[in-house]
Structure 1
Amino acid sequence: MLSLPNLLTLSRIFAVPILVALLWHPGWVGYVLAFLLYCLAGITDYFDGYLARAQGTVSKLGIFLDPIADKIMVAAVIVMLISTEQAIGGHPVIAGWHVVAALVILLREIAVSGLREFLAQLSVSVPVSRLAKWKTTFQMVALGALILAGALPEWPWVHALGLVCLWLAAGLTLLTGWDYLRVGLRHMD
C-alpha cells in the first residue's frame, strides 16, 4: 500500500500546508521557496504515475489519492495567489478579471470531482482526455509562473506568461468540463 508512487503522491498532499505557509506573507524568499516546492511537487506528480505503471504497482489508494493531491494543491495555490501580494508593489498576483479564470478552474475541479463520484457509483469510468492533460499542463505552468512572478515583479513577462497560461487553462477547463458533463448526463435519469 505504501509503495514509492503512493509515497510521492502523499508527499504532494503534505507539501500543501508548506506551500500555504510560504505564500502566507511571502516576500521574495517565500515566493522563491514556494516556486521550488511547487516544481518539486509537479515532478512527483509525473513520477508517481509513471513509476506505478512501470513497476506494475498501480493501487486503489494511488488512483484515489492522485487526483485529490492535484486538486488540493491547485486550489490552495490559487487561493493564496489571489489573497497575497507580490513581493514588490503590493498588488495581488492574481487580481481583477484574472480572478474569473482562477474561479473557472476551481469550480470545474469541484464539479468534475462530484460528477466522477456520481459516475463511480454507477461503475462508469471517465478516462482523462488528451485535452484534459493539456489543461493540466497549462494550469501547472500558469501557477508556477505566477508564484515566480510574485518574487520577480521587475520581470513583468513572467507574470504575463502566467496569466496567459491561466486563461488558456480556464478555456480548456470549460471545454473538458463540458465533455465530462455530457458523459455524465447520459447516465442521469
Structure 2
Amino acid sequence: MRINLPTWLTIFRVLLLPVMVVVFYLPFKGHNLTAALVFVLAGVTDWLDGFLARRLNQTSPFGAFLDPVADKLMVAVTLFLLVQSHPGGWQSVLMAVTASIIVGREISVSALREWMAQIGARSTVQVAFVGKLKTVMQMVALVVLLLQHDAETLRLYHIGEALLVVAGILTIWSGLGYLRAAWPSLSADSVMLDESEKKSQ
C-alpha cells in the first residue's frame, strides 16, 4: 500500500495526540499556549489533507478510514484532558456532561453511518449545516479552554465553557437529524444488506 501526502498528514495528526497530552501536563510556562497551538495545528492538517486529497485527486481507502478516526480521537482526548483538569464546582459537572454528549454522539453517528453503509444507504446520513456549525463552535471552544485552563482569571475559560455547551446542544440537534434521516431504515421490519456485506457473513 502506497501512502500519499494527504494520508501522511492524517497520520501526522494522530501522532500529535501524545504530543498534546504531554505538553498539556508538563510544568513549564506557556504549556497551555503550546497545547492549544498543537490542537490548532491538528485542525489545520485536517483541512489541508482534505483539500489536497481533492485537489490532487489522491484518495485512498486507508485515508478515508483514518481521517474521521483522527478527528474524533483529537476531540475526545482534548475533552478528557479538560474534564480531568477542570477547576471544580457545578461547572465541572456541566463540562463532564457536555463532553459525554459530544463523545457519545460521535460514537453513535459513526456506528449509524457504518450500519447505513452496510445496507447501501449511507448517502441518507450526510453531514448537514448544523453539524458543520457544531464542529466550528466545538473547535473554537476547545482552543479557548486549552489556552485558559490554568489561567489566574477564568473569564475567557467561562466563555469557552459556554461555547462548548452551545456545541453540545448543536451536537444533540445534528445527531437527531442523522437519526431522523436514518429512521425509515432503522424502523423497518427487515433490511437488505448490500452484496459485500452478504459475502462477509
Contact 1:31–1:148 under 8 Å retained in 2: yes
Count of residue pairs the alignment pairs up = 183
Contact 2:83–2:95 under 8 Å retained in 1: no
Deviations 1:31-74 (A, max 9, x none): 22211111110111111111111111122222211110010111
Q: One-letter code of the match for 1:37?
A: V
Question: What is aligned with 1:96?
Answer: 93
**Distance of 2:31 and 2:135 partners within structure 1:** 24
Question: What is aligned with 1:66?
Answer: 67
| Percentage identity across paired residues of the two chains | 37
Q: Are 1:173 and 2:171 counterparts?
A: yes
Q: Secondary structure at the match of 2:93?
A: coil
1:34-45 alignment, distance < 5 Å? 34-45=35-46
1:97-176 alignment, distance < 5 Å? 97-125=94-122, 126-154=125-153, 156-176=154-174
**Distance of 1:104 and 1:147 partners within structure 2:** 19
**Distance of 1:45 and 1:26 partners within structure 2:** 28
**Distance of 1:170 and 1:16 partners within structure 2:** 22
Q: Secondary structure at the match of 2:149?
A: helix
Unaligned segments of structure 1, at least 5 residues? 86-90
Q: One-letter code of the match for 2:138?
A: Q
Contact 1:135–1:172 under 8 Å retained in 2: yes
Which one has the largest radius of gyration? 2
Q: Are 1:5 and 2:35 counterparts?
A: no
**Distance of 1:32 and 1:108 partners within structure 2:** 28
TM-score (norm 1): 0.88
What RMSD, in angstroms, separates the aligned Cα atoms of the two structures?
Answer: 2.0
TM-score (norm 2): 0.83
1:161 is displaced (CA, Å) by 2.2
The 1:101–1:18 alpha-carbon spacing in structure 2 relative to 1, beyond 3 Å, is same
1:108 is displaced (CA, Å) by 0.4
Question: What is aligned with 1:88?
Answer: none
Q: One-letter code of the match for 1:105?
A: I
1:25 is displaced (CA, Å) by 5.4
Q: Secondary structure at the match of 2:59?
A: coil
Q: Secondary structure at the match of 1:96?
A: helix
**Distance of 2:46 and 2:88 partners within structure 1:** 27
